[in-house]
């Protein structure tokens, strides 16, 4: 089981910032999040289901890269941090 943390930017779309999940992959975790908090839909993934470029996910402190992406295994993971970047200019 992994402890999942959402940043403050995502808080307005989910009732809980921290929770525990036993999802086997990052994709399954995002499915769980979107099912439990429908307002998160399309905030984390685009219309094709790909992680949005301004969303950063860290599993046990390591950023999930493009190589494994949503297929990243959460088996044995202790923490998952989901951050929503802010761009400006």
> Residue 46: which region, alpha, beta or left (left: phi > 0; alpha: psi -120 to 50)?
beta
pLDDT, tens digit, for every residue of 42-89? Answer: 899 988 888 888 899 999 999 997 557 899 999 999 999 999 887 665
* In a domain? residue 16: yes
Residues 6+ apart with CB under 8 A from 65: none
Token couple for 66: 């493009």
What's the pLDDT at 65? 73
Domain count, the chain: 1
Domain assignment of residue 30, yes or no: yes
The span from the CA of 49 to the CA of 27, in Å, is 9
Going by C-alpha positions, the residue among 76, 64, 56 that lies closest to residue 7 is 56
Per the structure, the complete domain to which residue 27 belongs is given by 2-84
CATH number of the domain to which 49 belongs: 3.10.20.30
Is residue 89 domain-resident? no
DSSP secondary structure letter of residue 71 = G
């Amino acid at each position: 089981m992994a402890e999942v943390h959402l940043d403050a930017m995502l808080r307005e779309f989910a009732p809980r910032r921290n929770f525990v999940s036993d999802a086997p992959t990052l994709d399954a975790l995002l499915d769980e999040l979107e099912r439990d908090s429908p307002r998160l839909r399309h905030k984390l993934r685009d219309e094709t289901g790909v992680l949005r470029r301004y969303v950063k996910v860290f599993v046990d402190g390591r950023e999930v890269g493009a190589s494994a992406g949503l297929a990243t295994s959460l088996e044995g993971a202790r923490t998952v941090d989901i951050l929503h970047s802010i761009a400006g200019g």
